[in-house]
Chains A and B, each alone.
Chain A
Amino acid sequence: MSEQATTAASGPKVKKFMFVNRKAPYGTIYALESLEVVLITATFDQDVSLVFMDDGVYQLVKGQQTKGIGIKNFSPSYRALEGYDIEKLYVDRASLDQRGLSEADLLVPVEVLDDQQMGELMAQQDVVLSF
């Protein structure tokens, strides 16, 4: 059962929003357009977490150079999240391992979670958005 949404002092409701990213960047638009929702959600002062799992972990890989495919490189936006107070980025350990990746390969600091931890985190959310 997710926790009840809290109410900020005398302001509007604060809910726990989780954004689940499971798709690789560039092959489809979901990574980019989901980031756009995250940035907007930041302006609503909600409690935002981002999860990267399965091919979603590829969104965070360093050194993306997109000139050759003629698509805008949007990976710098992940580094800009911190400036929007979005600092809760979680990555699924099994997904990293399966893809031969480690935290050192990623362009932002993340917290790596195992299945149990990730499942528990998801269970705490009020709103979960997938793209």
Chain B
Amino acid sequence: MLHIINKSPFDTNALDSCLRMAQPGQAVLLIEDAVYAATQGSALTERMRQAAAKVSLFVLQPDLDARGMGTKVQDGITPVDYAGFVDLVEKYPTSQSWL
């Protein structure tokens, strides 16, 4: 399963709910305003570090760049572009968008 999150973790609990349900070996992709969850030095950094032990974490680079956060990605979260986004959807049989 590829979990796709698009809302800021400081705005809604989508990321939280997703991480509760995500199973080992699955992947989580942060897009749109959710990319803020991938930045270093925030209140979420530790939570994301722990999540990285269970699931593969990805963040959409164009959305980070748009928000001026392009150089602030936390270790353990892999930036991808839209082509990489497509590859992730192809790789995981099902995707779930946490709206």
A contact set with B: CB distance below 8 Å:
1-2, 20, 22, 30, 53-54, 94, 115, 118-120, 122-123, 125-128, 130-131
Main secondary structure of the interface of A (DSSP, over half): mixed
Are A120 and B93 touching (Cβ within 8 A)? no
Counting chain B residues whose Cβ lies within 8 A of the other chain, the interface size class is: 10 to 19
Are A1 and B93 touching (Cβ within 8 A)? yes
**A118 CA to B21 CA in the complex, in Å?**
6
**A83 CA to B1 CA in the complex, in Å?**
31
Are A53 and B1 touching (Cβ within 8 A)? no
Are A119 and B95 touching (Cβ within 8 A)? no
**A53 CA to B20 CA in the complex, in Å?**
11
**A7 CA to B23 CA in the complex, in Å?**
27
| Residues 14-58 of B at the A interface (beta carbon under 8 Å) | 14, 17, 20-23, 26
Are A119 and B99 touching (Cβ within 8 A)? no
State whether A54 and B1 are in contact (beta carbons under 8 Å apart), knowing that A1-B93, A125-B94, A128-B96 are contacts in the complex: no
Closest A residue by C-beta to B98: A130
